[in-house]
Amino acid sequence: MTHKEYLKQIEKTLKQIKQLPIEQLDTNTKILKLAFDIAYKNRLFALYGFETKEQHQLKLQLFEKLTPISGSLSFLAIQILAANAIMNKNDFKRKKHYFHKKCGIAINHLRAPETLVEATKCRGGYRLNGTLTWASGYNIFERLLIGFHFNGQEYEVMSKFKPQKGFILSEAPQTFVGFGLNTVNIQLKEYFVKEKNIVSSNPIGNYTKNKSVSKTIHYSLYGLGCGVIKHIDNTTLKSFAHQHLKEYKQQFITSNSGEELDVLRVELFHFLQKIITTAMIQNGGKSILITQHLQQYYRELIMFNCNGLNQTIKDIFLHKLLD
């Protein structure tokens, strides 16, 4: 697929998704799955076929179009794109097999200062013990990339995403956003994973290091901002938001510094938070109606920003408030 063909696939996908009751994408798992399956079938998540630079360009354009329709759908897109990218980067021998599966991720706990999922070596693989919290996309994703620690290394392994021996699902706490994501907690008790499904093995801390230069959350926040602008009534505010969002876009596109990208993520969040609340005030009392989009964007702004937080980003938020 060429660059031009991929962009046509985005437009085709948007047209098909808009035939669904898109107002239910955040609340109805079945509707969200239909939308995700449309995007999957149209190969919007097959960015592994492009060179790295082109992948970034297309990913930005994807989230610019997808996020205004549904933050939940974009949240799922973040996960499958991450799973595919990790398999591709590590030249996983079975990656072509899994590229044809809908893969989610449960690896954010790898950045925690302690081991949350540990393993023991056994014949043909490993037995995992621990808890995976906030695994999104149950009954949407077919596979799950699981992170665990063993012998001073952090591993990532592919697993089926369904109840099975040693793989025990439980409901996650209720949230005020992303209801359709069907998020669950998973208890692993002597859960067996095969050696041949190990995607990567690196010194502990590798995931946190690589995550710091990821721009996917920036792309999602930018896409959300594009959606917000469409629903601002005040022309002065609309123009102001458009110009400044464009400036933030240029900054994170050109940056390759993990430290700078962390700061930009925080600044972009604060900017969008102010724009949304000001727009709701300018739009008047109708902003509290459940049918209005700005309150949805505000909730999704929180959802995106809470994804993949580490202590560094938390400290930046705190220091910006206290300074």
Q: What is the pLDDT of residues 238-290, one digit of tens each?
A: 999 999 999 999 999 999 998 999 999 999 999 999 999 999 999 998 888 87
Q: What is the pLDDT of residue 312?
A: 86
Same domain, 169 and 80: no
User: Is the domain of 108 the same as that of 199?
Assistant: yes
Per residue in 78-102, pLDDT (tens digit) is: 999 999 999 999 999 999 999 999 9
Please give the structure tokens belonging to residue 295: 């309150």
pLDDT band at 113 (very low <50, low <70, confident <90, very high): confident
Number of domains forming the structure of the chain: 3
Helices (H), the chain: 3-17, 29-41, 52-66, 71-89, 95-99, 206-211, 216-229, 235-254, 258-283, 293-305, 311-322
Same domain, 47 and 123: no
- Give the residue, 310 or 125, on which the prediction is more confident: 125
**Single residue among 204, 222, 253 that ends a domain in this structure:** 204
- Predicted local distance difference test score (pLDDT) of residue 178: 80
For the whole model, what pTM was predicted? 0.93
Residues 297, 46: Cα–Cα separation, whole Å: 27
Q: Which residue has the higher pLDDT, 235 or 177?
A: 235
Q: Give the CATH number of the domain where residue 144 resides.
A: 2.40.110.10
Residue 301 pLDDT level (bands cut at 50, 70, 90):
very high
Residues 149 and 227 in one domain: no
Nearest residue to 54 via CA among 99, 100, 6: 6
Residues 139 and 95 in one domain: no
Q: What is the CATH number of the domain that holds 233?
A: 1.20.140.10
Residue 230 has pLDDT above 80, yes or no: yes
Last residue of a domain, one of 99, 122, 155: 99
Q: Are residues 183 and 220 in the same domain?
A: no
Do 74 and 116 reside in the same domain of the chain? no
Per-residue pLDDT reduced to its tens digit, 133-185: 889 999 999 999 999 999 999 999 999 999 999 999 998 777 778 888 999 99
Separation of alpha carbons 127 and 308, rounded Å: 26
Question: Are residues 200 and 174 part of one domain?
Answer: yes
Contact 183, 136 (CB under 8 A): yes
DSSP conformational letter for 162? S
**Cα(242)–Cα(239) distance, integer angstroms:** 5
CA distance 221 to 273: 11
User: Does residue 173 share a domain with residue 132?
Assistant: yes
Q: 301 near 269, Cβ under 8 Å?
A: yes
CA angle (88, 94, 95) in 5-degree steps? 30
Residues 95, 107 within the same domain: no
H and E: helices and strands count for the chain: 11, 8
User: Residue 212's pLDDT is what?
Assistant: 61
Last residue of a domain, one of 157, 175, 204: 204
CA distance 202 to 209: 11
Residue type, 121: K
d(CA 301, CA 228): 11
Q: Please tell me the distance from the alpha carbon of residue 56 to that of residue 42, in angstroms, as a whole number.
A: 19
What confidence tier does 211 reach under pLDDT thresholds 50, 70, 90? Answer: low
Same domain, 72 and 112: no
pLDDT tens sequence across 28-84: 999 999 999 999 999 999 999 999 999 999 999 999 999 999 999 999 999 999 999
**108 and 39 in a common domain:** no
Domain hosting 35: range is 3-99
